[in-house]
């Protein structure tokens, strides 16, 4: 039996602002934008090439806006992905990797798969990591 992880609800304070950020700046595809009156709205967005989506909205149980951290977007070319997002107006941090002393500036010296990162936040402060993965671990 497969168990496929497909959706995370991201807590936001302004659905329209968040939708603009994820759709226009990050390039996520809007799958659903459904309202039921003024009290309920659900917007589902999917990153390009992803099998998993995010949902933002109002009138549904959610954590405090801006409280999520460590969500990953995986790319094959971190510098190119970072450049694209910066061109779209996203404030993306410089690349970093984890060395013997902890986080260190720059791409992983050997460009190991799963080894290089950059970070950004949405308008509410939900924190994302972009991770460079060029070769998947066996079984993935």
5-33 mean pLDDT: 96
Residue 79 falls within a domain, yes or no? yes
The pTM of the whole model exceeds 0.95: no
In a domain, 137, yes or no: no
In a domain, 140, yes or no: no
**Is residue 138 situated within a structural domain?**
no
Q: Write the CB contacts of 29 (distance below 8 Å, at least 6 apart in sequence).
A: 23, 45, 46, 48
Residue 3 has pLDDT above 60, yes or no: yes
Query: Do the domain assignments include residue 109?
Result: yes
Distance CA 111, CA 13 (A): 37
Domain of residue 60, CATH code: 3.10.180.10
The pairing of beta strand 127-132 with beta strand 116-121: antiparallel
Per-residue model confidence (pLDDT) at position 60: 87
Domain that includes residue 101, residue range = 7-132
In a domain, 55, yes or no: yes
**Number of folded domains in the chain?**
1
Q: Tell me whether residue 139 is in a domain.
A: no
pLDDT in tens, 105-132: 999 999 999 999 999 999 999 999 999 9
Does 100 map to a domain? yes
Q: How far apart are CA 32 and CA 61, in angstroms?
A: 18
């Amino acid at each position: 039996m497969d168990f496929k992880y497909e959706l995370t609800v991201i807590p936001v304070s302004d659905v329209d602002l968040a939708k603009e950020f994820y759709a226009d700046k990050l390039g996520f595809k809007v799958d659903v934008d459904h309202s039921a009156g003024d009290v309920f709205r659900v917007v589902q967005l999917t990153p390009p090439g992803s099998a998993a989506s995010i949902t933002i909205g109002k009138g549904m149980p959610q954590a405090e806006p801006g409280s999520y951290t460590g969500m990953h977007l995986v790319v094959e070319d971190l510098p190119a992905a970072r450049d694209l997002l910066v061109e779209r107006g996203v404030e993306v941090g410089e690349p970093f990797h984890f060395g013997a002393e902890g986080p260190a500036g720059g791409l992983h010296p050997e460009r190991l798969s799963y080894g290089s990162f950059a970070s950004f936040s949405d308008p509410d402060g939900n924190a994302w990591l972009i991770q460079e993965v060029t070769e998947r671990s066996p079984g993935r």
